[in-house]
Structure 1
């Protein structure tokens, strides 16, 4: 037993420092930085950084671009852009009540996870849809501003699609893509089981944040969703551990940056640079990427308060939020990848379907 623990410990330490090989072109990080940076700089120029931040979050739709034909790329990005707008719209429409917004977010997570898995979309999968809905569900409810906010999400996503089109026309000539068919997942019982688990824990994480009266409870479902992206329970555990450790180091980096009393322009520049670094690292080492994801998400979510709130107070509060969300995500990962529980759930779903069909 001691030998097994020793081997496990050594393997985890190796995984902590291992950089994976990747064939990803450096063009993608540059493209992602432009999709995020251009709306930010436009918002800064017109003295509406809040509008710029909302649009730049939608620019992250570029991360769903498959490296296939131009037509397939644009169809995927346009569909995901519409999904981003729907995600934000659903989140902000039910933000008037914490319990209602938590329940709606849970059902939304079930739906979006099912759709993403059904069409076998590659990572980041359902993560950014859930992230946008979580952010929107914690915004102050104001019916009059909903069209403007949804429009800003649409504008940011359309800018990303436009940049993706020009990039694709150039890159497909230089790097001819492999032909790829749209694959639909057939095992609907497994997909439904996974979706219900994801939805329940996203609901649980957000309602926990509200019950604890956290200032920004959306950090819990975002961290929970990020950890649940693991392909296996071991992967989920690794992600949870790496996310907590990376968050701790990343908050230290954010704290150092905030000590310089950053201006709106320097925050915009930091976000653009951090986005580039993250996209270079995310396919190589998740934990190392989290070190830079943490200050990025902090600046995006706290751009206004980051310039006036005490840095030490802000960092300590965010660490507890992310730590709690990661723990909930690790528990969810155990349910997602427990084979016995999965088998029982699938059997029960089949029996229920049979009963309904007989009626």
Structure 2
């Protein structure tokens, strides 16, 4: 028993320092950084950094760029851009009530996760759609500002699509396209089961954040979803551990940077640099990427106020938020990959469907 535990610990420790091989080209992180950074710099130039932050969220659609033909790349990005806008609209429209927004976000997560699995989309999958909806659901409700906010998300996404078009025309000539990102497949009971589990825990995590009256409750569903995206139960626990450890180190890095009392321009530059580092690392080592994801998200959240908030308070609160969300995600991952529970649920769904059809 002790030998098995020792072997497990040594294996997990080795994984903390192991970098995976990847075929991702170095210039894609440059493209991603530009799609996120250019709207931020425009917002800074026109003294509307809040607009720049919303637009750079739309620029994250570039992460869904598949390694396939130019036509399929553009169809995928345009569809995902529309999905980003729909996600933001749904989050904003129900942000007036915390309970209702939690319920709606749960059902939205079920729908998005089902669609993403139906079309066999590769990572990041449903993550950014649910993340954007989570962020929007925690914004102050203002009916008059909904059109301009959604428009800014759309403008950032359209800029990413335009840059992706030029990038694709250049890169496809040098690198032959591989298999398509989207492959339609028939729905099955497993997809429905997984979507239901994901939706419930996204709803539960956001509800917990509201009930605890956290300042930014969206951190809980985002952390929860990041952990639940593990491919297996072992992968879920690895992600949970790596996210908590990476967050702890990342918060230390963010705390050091916050002590520098940076200007909004400096923050924008740091966001661009951090985005590049993240895209270089995320396909190689999730835990290392989290170290830089943490200060990036903090800078995005506080860029408009030029980091006037106390660094010690911000860091301590954020660690509690992410820790709680990661624990909820680990529990959700256990349900998601529990074979007996999956089998029983699928069998019950089949029986219900047969019963309904017979009527």
Give the TM-score band, short-chain normalised. over 0.9
Question: Aligned-pair distance for 1:179?
Answer: 4.7
- Does the 8 Å CA contact 2:19/2:284 hold for their aligned counterparts? yes
| Correspondence for 1:189 | 189
| Correspondence for 1:272 | 272
Q: Which whole-Å deviations, capped at 9, do the CAs of 1:202-228 have from their partners, x for residues lacking one? A: 000000000000000000000001111
- Does the 8 Å CA contact 1:59/1:157 hold for their aligned counterparts? yes
Distance 2:295 2:182 in 1: 36
Question: Aligned-pair distance for 1:188?
Answer: 1.7
Distance 1:113 1:315 in 2: 31
Distance 2:244 2:15 in 1: 15
Question: Aligned-pair distance for 1:186?
Answer: 2.9
Distance 1:57 1:300 in 2: 9
Distance 1:132 1:290 in 2: 18
Q: Which whole-Å deviations, capped at 9, do the CAs of 1:170-220 have from their partners, x for residues lacking one? A: 000111213537422335200000000000000000000000000000000
| Correspondence for 2:198 | 198
Does 1:254 find its partner at 2:254? Answer: yes
Distance 1:130 1:181 in 2: 20
Distance 1:16 1:354 in 2: 48
Q: Which whole-Å deviations, capped at 9, do the CAs of 1:110-129 have from their partners, x for residues lacking one? A: 00000001101000000000
**1:141 match: secondary structure:** coil
Distance 1:312 1:181 in 2: 43
**2:327 match: secondary structure:** helix
Give unmatched runs, 5+ long, in structure 1.
Answer: none
| Correspondence for 2:345 | 345
| Correspondence for 2:313 | 313
| Correspondence for 2:223 | 223
- Does the 8 Å CA contact 1:74/1:165 hold for their aligned counterparts? yes
| Correspondence for 2:12 | 12
| Correspondence for 2:170 | 170
Cα pair distance change 1:325/1:116, threshold 3 Å? same
Give the TM-score normalised by structure 2: 0.99
Alignment of 1:1-359 (within 5 A): 1-180=1-180, 182-305=182-305, 307-359=307-359
**1:302 match: secondary structure:** helix
Distance 2:306 2:349 in 1: 48
Q: Could you tell which deviates more after superposition, 174-183 or 223-232?
A: 174-183
**2:278 match: secondary structure:** helix
Distance 2:210 2:352 in 1: 34
- Does the 8 Å CA contact 2:264/2:306 hold for their aligned counterparts? no
Distance 2:61 2:182 in 1: 19
Question: Aligned-pair distance for 1:3?
Answer: 1.1
Question: Aligned-pair distance for 1:304?
Answer: 3.1
Distance 2:348 2:162 in 1: 46
Distance 1:337 1:325 in 2: 18
- Does the 8 Å CA contact 2:67/2:181 hold for their aligned counterparts? no
- Does the 8 Å CA contact 2:121/2:181 hold for their aligned counterparts? no
- Does the 8 Å CA contact 1:258/1:306 hold for their aligned counterparts? no
Question: Aligned-pair distance for 1:303?
Answer: 2.1
Cα pair distance change 1:307/1:180, threshold 3 Å? closer
- Does the 8 Å CA contact 1:62/1:160 hold for their aligned counterparts? yes
**1:304 match: secondary structure:** helix
